Amino acid sequence: MSTPAFQRARWLPGQHLGTVYASVARPFPRPAFRRERWELPDGDFLDVDRLDGSARGAPVLVISHGLEGSSGASYVRGLAAAASRHGFAIAAWNFRGCSGEPNRLLRQYHSGETGDLEGVVGRLASEDPARPILLAGFSLGGNQIVKWMGERGETLPDIVRAAVAVSVPFDLEACAVALDAPGFWPFVYRERFLRRLRRKAIAKSAEHPGALDIDRVRRSRTFAEYDGLVTARLHGFASAQDYWRRCSSARFLPGVRRDLLLLSADDDPLVPSRSIPVDAANANPSVTLEVTRGGGHGAFVSGSPFHPTFWAEERALPFLVERASGVVP
């Protein structure tokens, strides 16, 4: 593990202001995405926003968003625009039910869902088997990437060169406990997510009567309650704790066999620093873990209010460019 020279913006002191600013107020470009709907073998679909690369056969960067995010999230668009300037093609995919249109099936997405990620990579590989594929994920999307790379290990497709994962919730139970804690800020984060999740669950229940205990879902006010009532029930887990244990990406780090850059902050309000798997990362030569002093969750804001910069993107791009070209320092 290393501690990089990240300088948090002075006008965003503390762990919360940067997190909130990056989530709801950061300026971001609007790449001219081309939306494609990909039909899935189980009858559902994924909406994927794409940009062409600067040349035929350009490496493609697959970007995975966070919990209740989308391809329209500021951090996705920011990274997509920056990577596009380096010649990458972009495939920013939306998890089931996150593209602005409800997915068809009762099931949705969760932190450990790697089947859809594998499907996205497989489809891109079939388009051009010689084109390098790189991965980038934020928060929940980062957890999926780390878990998938660890699951596949040596069998990860050769076309997948490397990945970057930002603000990963390595231990889902520790993160749920942090979000379910008393206090103003945990309440703000918790309700921001749960309000959207409850709304989706209620809509699903209307389409599939009896699938969920909807009265209890409406009353759920913690992730422990929601994940037990909805996530576990819809995706085949015995309980919230079973889901958290089986899908936490920290336990999959030893299996990673492709270059993986992990970017975390020691003051992340959603990911307790004690849950960052320093020993597992240090023990795996394929994994580079960098933990900044400050940075919040998915924020890493530097610069001035008039010219903010975002360190995670600036750090990720050289790593991705080097691996895409096969030139590794």
* Residues, the chain: 329
Dihedral pair phi/psi, residue 110, rounded to 5°: -160, 175
- 101 vs 97: CA distance, rounded Å: 6
Cβ-contact 204, 106 below 8 angstroms: yes
The sign of the dihedral angle between the CA atoms of 225, 231, 235, 241 is negative
- pLDDT exceeds cutoff 90 at 295: yes
Homologous superfamily of 14-169+250-325 in CATH?
A: Alpha/Beta hydrolase fold, catalytic domain (3.40.50.1820)
Which of 84, 139, 248, 275 is labelled catalytic? 139
Which of 16, 65, 110, 297 is labelled catalytic? 297
For tokens 């790379």, name the residue. Answer: 149
Is pLDDT larger for residue 277 or for residue 26? Answer: 277
Active site residue 268: yes
Cβ-contact 301, 25 below 8 angstroms: no
Cβ-contact 295, 273 below 8 angstroms: no
Which of 23, 249, 268, 302 is labelled catalytic? 268
Q: In this predicted structure, what is the pLDDT of residue 29?
A: 86
CA atoms within 13 A on the CB side of 262: 34
- pTM summary value: 0.96
The stretch 69-81 carries a mean pLDDT of 96
- pLDDT exceeds cutoff 80 at 326: no
Helix axes 184-207, 172-179, angle to 10 degrees: 110
From start to end of 95-140, where are the E strands?
133-138
Cβ-contact 204, 44 below 8 angstroms: no
Q: Where are the domains of the chain?
A: 14-169+250-325, 172-247
* Bridging pattern class, strands 60-64 and 133-138: parallel
pLDDT band of residue 329 (cuts 50, 70, 90) is: very low
Reported as a single tens digit per residue, the pLDDT across 24-57 is: 888 878 899 999 999 999 999 999 999 999 888 8
Reported as a single tens digit per residue, the pLDDT across 210-253 is: 999 999 999 999 999 999 999 999 999 999 999 999 999 999 99
Reported as a single tens digit per residue, the pLDDT across 159-216 is: 999 999 999 999 999 999 999 999 999 999 999 999 999 999 999 999 999 999 999 9
Reported as a single tens digit per residue, the pLDDT across 91-133 is: 999 999 999 999 999 999 999 999 999 999 999 999 999 999 9
